[in-house]
């Protein structure tokens, strides 16, 4: 691990030095963030410093080479207990294991269990190459190789047809990380383009595939999408297998836990974005088939719209449905794990996102967005102010207020605060 970190630092330093002395355009930003988060029984203060350097070179009209170096280190709290972020009624029980890796049995020949009240995770300082790719422009196609940005779809807060990115509902426009892939774009005229994206794995069956045909029709851009990838979900069982030491268990502990199941997931999608009677309109539909079984279909879709009034007030609304989410009465500990690991786009099934933005002055703008879980009735309300201190320096303050019962998705949290400063160069 130490050798890998040193190698990453060496590679990043070499690229940085080369860029400064070569004919390479470079730009980027510095970002600092301070966060406060309040739970019923605890409070957290944490933050980070992030430096991003974008390097771009186009020696001719056919070739473009680009890379992004990102350095990020954390202040304040960096180790958290996952269990503190969900209501105690969701805490599961674990089997008690002796030092020989055997189940501890009581006098009634029943295995003993203990409530899991600690599941630590840590924020680690990082230095890595985010995007590093080559673009080749041919007369009949464009080819992109390497770690690159993959389009996320037409939705604002959710993207059902996106296989590669998972948005943060509390910060949906924040930049996505790069995705290692091979991409080809082929124009066919009449505003029609075919896109193919592959994430190559050890076999063709394990390779992630994504194909999109996009065209313009009137005031709308329309897309048909097909994707296929291997799909699995994290669970407490899988964590126990991978990290027995966290719970004081030996690697050979004899726990009756099956391996995590990996399934083939196919996606048949449709996207539409455009203007209808002066109103911005968007929709995404994803029909997911698991293990090539036509009786095992899962539907995801968004329907949204936006409008800008004459006084510059901007409104955006979006409804989201997700069959992969669980019903409120069926929500368990594993569902929180799966959702927070980014393997589901939502915890439950039905949500609504509403945002309003308004320029208060030339340098100060205000916004307010809310996220409603329509299944459990909980709500997150987030007012934000953004101030342009200088031309390339931006300061934003976000306050979060949560409404709902303790067992609800947004009800267990109390309040949050985020102060972010970003300076571009």
Largest CA distance in the chain: 79
pLDDT at 251: 37
Is the pLDDT reported for residue 331 higher than 50? Answer: yes
Classify residue 375: in a domain, yes or no: no
Bridge partners, 357 (sequence order): 314, 367
pLDDT at 15: 57
Is the pLDDT reported for residue 120 higher than 90? Answer: no
How does DSSP assign 223-282, residue by residue?
EEEEEEEEE----HHHHHHH-GGGGT--TT-----PPPP-EEEEEEEEEEEEEETTEEEE
CB 172 within 8 A of CB 156: yes
Classify residue 111: in a domain, yes or no: yes
Classify residue 399: in a domain, yes or no: no
Q: How confident is the model at residue 16 (pLDDT cuts 50, 70, 90)?
A: low
Classify residue 374: in a domain, yes or no: no
Write out pLDDT tens, residues 208-230: 999 999 999 999 999 999 999 99
User: What percent of the chain is modeled with pLDDT above 70?
Assistant: 88
Which pairing describes strands 126-137 and 379-390: parallel, antiparallel, or unpaired?
unpaired
Classify residue 397: in a domain, yes or no: no
Classify residue 353: in a domain, yes or no: no
User: What percent of the chain is modeled with pLDDT above 90?
Assistant: 67
Domain count, the chain: 1
Classify residue 286: in a domain, yes or no: yes
pLDDT at 247: 41
Write out pLDDT tens, residues 228-249: 999 888 777 655 544 444 444 4
Q: How confident is the model at residue 20 (pLDDT cuts 50, 70, 90)?
A: low
Is the pLDDT reported for residue 91 higher than 80? Answer: yes
Is the pLDDT reported for residue 6 higher than 70? Answer: no
* Closest C-alpha to 271, from 350, 193, 159, 149: 159
Write out pLDDT tens, residues 128-158: 889 999 999 999 999 999 999 998 899 999 9
Q: Which domain holds residue 277?
A: 2-298+328-343
pTM equals 0.87
Q: How much of the chain is helix, strand and coil, in % rounded to 5?
A: 10, 50, 35
Q: Which tokens go with 242?
A: 């991978």
Classify residue 265: in a domain, yes or no: yes
Give me the chain's average pLDDT, please.
88
Write out pLDDT tens, residues 332-380: 998 998 888 888 999 999 999 999 999 999 999 999 999 999 999 999 9
pLDDT at 88: 92
């Amino acid at each position: 691990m130490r050798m890998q970190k040193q190698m990453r630092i060496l590679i990043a330093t070499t690229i940085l030095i080369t860029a400064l002395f070569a004919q390479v355009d470079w730009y980027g930003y510095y970002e600092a963030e301070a966060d406060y988060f309040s739970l019923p029984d605890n409070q957290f203060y944490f933050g980070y410093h992030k430096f991003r350097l974008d390097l771009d070179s186009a020696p001719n009209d056919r070739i473009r080479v680009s890379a992004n170096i990102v350095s990020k280190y954390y202040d304040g709290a960096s180790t958290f207990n996952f269990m503190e972020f969900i209501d105690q009624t969701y805490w599961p029980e674990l089997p008690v294991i002796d030092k020989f890796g055997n189940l501890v049995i009581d006098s009634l020949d029943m295995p003993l269990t203990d409530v899991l009240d600690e599941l630590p995770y840590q924020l680690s300082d990082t230095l890595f190459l985010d995007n590093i790719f080559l673009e080749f422009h041919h007369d009949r196609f464009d080819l992109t190789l390497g770690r690159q940005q993959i389009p996320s779809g037409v939705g604002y807060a959710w993207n059902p047809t996106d296989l590669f990115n998972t948005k943060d509902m509390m910060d949906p426009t924040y930049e996505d990380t790069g995705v290692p892939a091979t991409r080809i774009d082929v124009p066919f005229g009449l505003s029609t383009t075919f896109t193919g994206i592959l994430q190559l794995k050890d076999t063709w069956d394990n390779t992630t595939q994504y194909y999109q045909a996009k065209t313009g029709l009137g005031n709308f851009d329309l897309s048909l999408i097909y994707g296929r990838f291997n799909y699995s979900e994290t669970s407490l069982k899988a964590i126990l297998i991978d990290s027995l030491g966290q719970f004081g268990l030996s690697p050979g502990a004899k726990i009756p836990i099956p391996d995590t199941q990996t399934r083939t997931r196919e996606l048949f999608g449709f996207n539409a974005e455009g203007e209808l009677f002066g109103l911005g309109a968007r929709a995404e539909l994803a029909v997911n088939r698991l293990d090539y079984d036509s009786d095992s279909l899962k539907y995801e879709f968004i329907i949204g719209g936006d409008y800008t009034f004459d006084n510059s007030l901007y409104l955006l609304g979006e409804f989201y449905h997700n069959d992969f989410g669980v019903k409120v009465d069926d929500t368990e500990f594993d569902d929180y794990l799966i959702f927070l690991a980014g393997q589901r786009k939502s915890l439950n099934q039905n949500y609504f996102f509403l945002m309003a933005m308004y320029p208060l002055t030339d340098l100060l703008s205000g916004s307010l967005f809310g996220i409603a879980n329509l299944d459990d009735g909980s709500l997150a309300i987030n007012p934000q102010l953004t101030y342009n201190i200088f031309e390339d320096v931006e300061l934003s303050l976000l306050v979060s207020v949560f409404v709902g019962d303790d067992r609800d998705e947004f009800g267990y949290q109390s309040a949050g605060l985020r102060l972010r400063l970003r300076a571009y160069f």
